Each structure stands twice: as C-alpha cells, then as structure tokens.
Structure 1
C-alpha cells in the first residue's frame, strides 16, 4: 500500500459565544483537516491544531509522503521531520507539528486496515468512558448564547450544566485582570456546588507572581483541584509552590525543567503539538516515570478528540478529566459531532482506526466559512482594537 495524496482543508468552527482569555476574546477554532489517501482506497483522517500547519503540510509534508508506505510510520517521519536537536535550536519545528497532524491519519489507516479501533492497537482499554470537564468563563452574550459576565451568572451556568448533563467536573477561566473578582467567583462556585464537584482554574499566564500568591492563598480553602499556568514560567510556579498546595498544570511540554524545578505537576497537550501519537505515548510514559500527570487539550475538533478518547482509554496513567469546550462548539467536521459529555464522560468510539467519519456537508460549510471570513482571531480586545495585550494583566 502506498500514499497517493494528502488533502488539506482549512475550516473554521466558531463557538456559540466568545470567551475572555488572557489575550482577548476567543471566538472559535481554525483547523486544518487532513485526508491521507492510498492506492488501496483507504483514507486516514488527521487534524492540525492551527491552520498555519496545514500550509506546511501542503508545501513540505505532502510531497515528501507520496509513494511512502503509510504503515511504516518511522519511514514517513524520516521523510518529513529533521532531527529535533537541530529544530529545537533554530525555531524550525513547524514540520514536527505538521507531521504530527498527518501521523494521526497514518494511525487511522493502520486501524482501518487491521479492522481494529485505535485503543486496541495501543494494548486495549483500561476504561471506555472517558472523563472531560465542563467549561466556564466570562462570555459576552452573542445570539442568545453566553452572557456569563458576572460571578452570579457563572455560578448559574455551572448549576445548569449539573442539572442538565450531570456535570460535576468544572474548569474555567476567570480572566478579567481582577484578582478580587476571581477570588469572589471561586468562593461563590464552591458554596453553590458543594464539597463534591471538582473546580479547576486556567489563568493562561495572566498573573504576576505577587498577584498569584494573593489569589492562591485566598482560594486554597475552596479545594481547587488544579490551576493551569497561573504565572508565565516554571520558575515562577516553583516559587508559588512554596506558598500553595494547589497543583499546577501547563501546556508547555518541558518535562526536564518541570522535574528539575518541582513544578508544574501536569502537562495538558495536543498530540500533534507533541509531534504525533507515537511521540505522545513516549512523552506520557516519561511523565509516568517522573511522577508528572497528563491530560488532553481543549477546543480541538472531532478527529483529534477521537485520538484523545482512544489514548486515554488505553493509558492507565491518565486518570484526571481532560479539558473540553464541547458544549460551546456549534459544529464539527465529523458525523454526529461534536462530542458531548454526559455525567462527565464520553464513550470511546468502537469503529476501526479513530472510529470517526467526515461529514461532507459539515466540511463544506466550515471550509466555506474559512474562505469567506478568514481564520478565527484569538487576540481581539474591543477596548484596544488593533493592539495586542501584554502580560501580566495584574
């Protein structure tokens, strides 16, 4: 079997309402959907974390893979990715992420050829109901959605998610640059939800070390399960650890520094950003050996999310709920998407490979959205139009 083509389609999938994060308003995702075609008629699906990487795939990865054996992933990688020791020092690591997006499709092909779901190829399932958090944030109203711009509204939203969907794991961004507002919201959430539900926070590095010390001291009594990137560096997180028992997580996959400094405690990553599924499995194994946690990223579409489901199903070490923005996504590119958790979990697909199929009508709709509107922006601040925010916010 040989690779005959690699098709890349840019898509936008907006959220029902934008949410505030450290860099501005976040309105949705712009992804590249990858279809690796073979002379046997088997097509594998992949997903790039941002559309820029789709351009790298078209220009560099796709030409290199024509004629390759899709089951020989090591050979495919050697055609596409320079040695990491070099690219890490030159900033030329886009090829690693781009190939990681395609490598997902190669695993999908392997599963379809073998007639097995991905989790079985990874050794079998230790769980099949995969936990995901519900998400909350300050969100301006848009088209009847959102409108949670006060602590009271965020509390009401979380209570409604518990009532309607059985959600008891909540993660959120309380990013308005006001430490007192965050402290008040956390207190109100814990009082309303009671002792049992999990509360996780994600600051996107908005706080200075001084502000973070104050916030963590005030919210520690409310049993915070995890705080992601409260400050900008591992060194600052290590300094925070002297003042707080709250665990920290990060999107920055630097395991050596985390072990050396003692913080953060957990990595939250996209598989393509780690270089693909094969490298992700090695990274998770290294985290286990070093006593560091791992769970999966949010705001990916159904193809990457399916990979999260399979890997979590097959990996004993991933025990915490991964992030999700499922409830806010207005669409997807897969049939029956987007995934939606019920009682905190999503069932791992049982079909061959990733177990998901593209929805042609949805693909056309969201590709047209990208063509007509361009990529989704993540850095718009209505109060400072045309200028990027600077950190920390406080």
Structure 2
C-alpha cells in the first residue's frame, strides 16, 4: 500500500443557531468561534483505498500542506500510528486554541496531526477489514456515554437547551461560564426544567480566577446535581489545583493533552477526573494512565464534524477508563456533519461504528455546499498533492 494522492478540502460549517446563538448569550458570552475553518483530508492509495481525516478548527493551511507532502508515497501499514511524527512549523500553531486552554504548556506538534492520524488509521483499518477500535486493542463497550452542551446563555434560554438535550435522550449537559454569570440561577433553571437526575458540568475555561471565588460558588451549588467543575483556575499552577481539591465538595476535572502534565496532576492529586484531548493514540495512552491511578475520563472535543467525532467514538470504545459523558456532540451543534449516515445516538449514548476503518462515508454533496473558495495567503480552498 502506498499513498499516491492527497486531496484537501477547506470547509466552513456554521453552528446551529439554537444552542449557541450569540444574540441570546450573556454579554461577552462564550460561544464557539464560527469563523474558524476546518480541512477534510482524503488519502488515496495505489490499491484503491481512501482514508478520511478532519483537522481541528483553525488549523493553518501550511501545516496541512507540510504534512501532506511528507506523507505522499508512504505506506500506512509500515508507519507507527502510536508515535506519528509530522513536519512541524512552529508558526502554524494557534497557541490559544491548541495550548492555552488545554494543557499547562502549548502542545508541540504539527496541528494537522489529528486529521492525518485518523486518515492513516482509516486506511489501515480498511486494508485489514477491521474498525479503528480494533487497531487500538479492541472495544470494551459498544456505545459511549455522551452529554449535551451549551454556551453561555441566560437562565431561561439555558433551561430550554438543557430540556432539548434531555428530550433527545441525554442525561447531562456541559455549560460554559465565567464567574460574573448568574451561575446559581442558571443551574437552578436547569434543575427545575430537567429534574434532579440530570447532571450539570461547569466549564469556565480557567476564568474563575481565584480559589476563594471557586469555593464560594461550589458551596452555593452543593445541593444541585453538579457532575464536575472543569478547569476553574489557570492551569499554570497545579499545586493550587491540589489545594483546591482538598476543600472542594464537587469533583474537579482538568482538561489536558500532554502526558507529562497528566502525570504531574496525578502525582499532586490535582484532579478527580480528566477531560482528555489530543490524537487517538494520545487519549488512549492517557486513559490508561488515568486507569492506573483509579481515575476516570471523558473525551473532549471542539464541537466537530462527523469524521473527527467518529474517531472519538472509536478511542472511547477502546479506553476502559472513559466512563464519563464525552463531548461527542457535533452533529447536534452544526448545520451538517459532512458524512452520509450520521452517527447513531440512543438514550444518551453514541453507538460505536463497526465498519472497516472509521466506518463512515464522506458526503460529497455536503462537502461542496460548505467548501471555502480561498485559504490562507491566497491558497485555493481545495487542492491536492500527488506523485
């Protein structure tokens, strides 16, 4: 098997309006950045297979091109997907999106690695006739728990979104927030709309500022069904997290990607659970680290499209410690997922695809509808490398 052509499609799929409408958000509300593009990757081989990948939002064109030119002519069956290395252009990393909100230090890799790892694994799975979760050691579950999601909304609007999620079968919701939001009123509104068994996670993206403020809010919410506080404080001081955890009555979660950061957090006792992000192999390895520490995880996301979401389902299926509600929710949040058959959700779980590779098919009509004509620095929106 040899990669003979790589097609790259730059796309922009807007968010659905209801859950994240900025006109309904609290002033300065945190909503997903809608102008961030993605790339859909197709790796074509000399024996007729095509592997699909999807970049993280906002990945620069030059990072994708560097990786594509490097992989052209390579044999995916003779590469280590566990330790995939791609040419790295340090100027290509969006520090805010890839580092500051996720790990203690920025992640040092080509930001298109997520897409190419998935596409390579899709090829290998197809070649051997097995789903990707088999390449990760086999599945331990046939469905993955998922929770609903909302940006920062006023209490009444947020209660409507939470109720919508509950009616879709979800048993919990993750909400974005800052300290100045009416957080108690928002949680109370969800509680009244959805009842005591509907779980609520709060994610301020490190914007609660101080331990005292965090503890005061936690005390006010102690009688509500709060699942976790995720990243309440800046993550440059994990000892502060360890101290916070000693006093907090609500489980504390850290959103991380680097193995050394996860190891430090475990050693310091800085978290109860982890929200893990990164490549499939990274999340799989970190999930085993958490399991050894008798901790559980969920798989974070960027409210992505169907290709990345399918890859998340595979890694969650193959990771025993992934028992909390993951953020695999893109098809409910975006106008389209760009795959022919959407992932199947039942009773708040997403079913694990069983077809070879990713087990999904690219929707070319949708791809055309959401194609972007031009990319960075005048690059075309759709381009190929071959040889």
TM-score category of the 2 structures, normalised to the smaller one = 0.7 to 0.9
Cα 1:206–1:79 change in 2 (3 A) is closer
The two structures have a TM-score, normalised by structure 1, of 0.79
Three-state SS of the structure 2 residue aligned to 1:196 is coil
Cα 1:282–1:77 change in 2 (3 A) is closer
Question: Which residue of 55, 59, 74 maps to 1:68?
Answer: 74
Question: Which residue of 214, 236, 239 maps to 1:212?
Answer: 214
Cα 1:71–1:280 change in 2 (3 A) is farther
Note the 1:30-109 alignment, pairs <5 A: 30-58=37-65, 60-74=66-80, 80=86, 93-95=108-110, 97-109=111-123
Q: For structure 2, list consecutive stretches of 5 or more residues without a partner in the other structure.
A: 94-98, 100-104, 379-387
Aligned to 1:266: 273
The two structures have a TM-score, normalised by structure 2, of 0.81
Q: Which moved more, 1:183-192 or 1:15-24?
A: 15-24
Q: Is residue 172 of structure 2 the alignment partner of residue 169 of structure 1?
A: yes
Question: Distance between the aligned counterparts of 2:274 and 2:8, measured in 1?
Answer: 29
Partners of 1:251 and 1:267 within 8 A in 2: yes
Question: Which residue of 228, 231, 240 maps to 2:233?
Answer: 231
Deviation per CA, 1:206-226, whole angstroms, max 9, x where unpaired?
A: 211132221111112213111
Q: Is residue 160 of structure 2 the alignment partner of residue 134 of structure 1?
A: no
Question: Distance between the aligned counterparts of 2:217 and 2:374, measured in 1?
Answer: 39
Q: CA deviation at 1:12?
A: 1.1
Aligned to 1:256: 263
Question: Distance between the aligned counterparts of 1:325 and 1:256, measured in 2?
Answer: 30
Q: CA deviation at 1:171?
A: 1.6
Cα 1:355–1:266 change in 2 (3 A) is same
* Count of residue pairs brought into register by the alignment: 349
Q: CA deviation at 1:27?
A: 4.3
Deviation per CA, 1:140-173, whole angstroms, max 9, x where unpaired?
A: xxxxxxxxx431232233224323x222222212
Deviation per CA, 1:215-249, whole angstroms, max 9, x where unpaired?
A: 11111221311111112223432232132121222
Deviation per CA, 1:102-128, whole angstroms, max 9, x where unpaired?
A: 111111001111111122333333221
Question: Distance between the aligned counterparts of 1:131 and 1:75, measured in 2?
Answer: 26
Three-state SS of the structure 1 residue aligned to 2:37 is strand
Question: Distance between the aligned counterparts of 1:12 and 1:370, measured in 2?
Answer: 11
Question: Distance between the aligned counterparts of 2:326 and 2:222, measured in 1?
Answer: 22
Q: CA deviation at 1:182?
A: 0.3
Partners of 2:299 and 2:322 within 8 A in 1: no
Cα 1:287–1:23 change in 2 (3 A) is farther
**What is the root-mean-square deviation in Å for CA atoms of aligned residues?**
3.0
Partners of 2:146 and 2:170 within 8 A in 1: no
Question: Distance between the aligned counterparts of 1:255 and 1:280, measured in 2?
Answer: 11
Q: CA deviation at 1:78?
A: 6.6
Three-state SS of the structure 1 residue aligned to 2:16 is strand
Q: Which moved more, 1:6-15 or 1:46-55?
A: 46-55
Structure (1 or 2) with the greater helix fraction: 1
Question: Distance between the aligned counterparts of 1:230 and 1:25, measured in 2?
Answer: 17
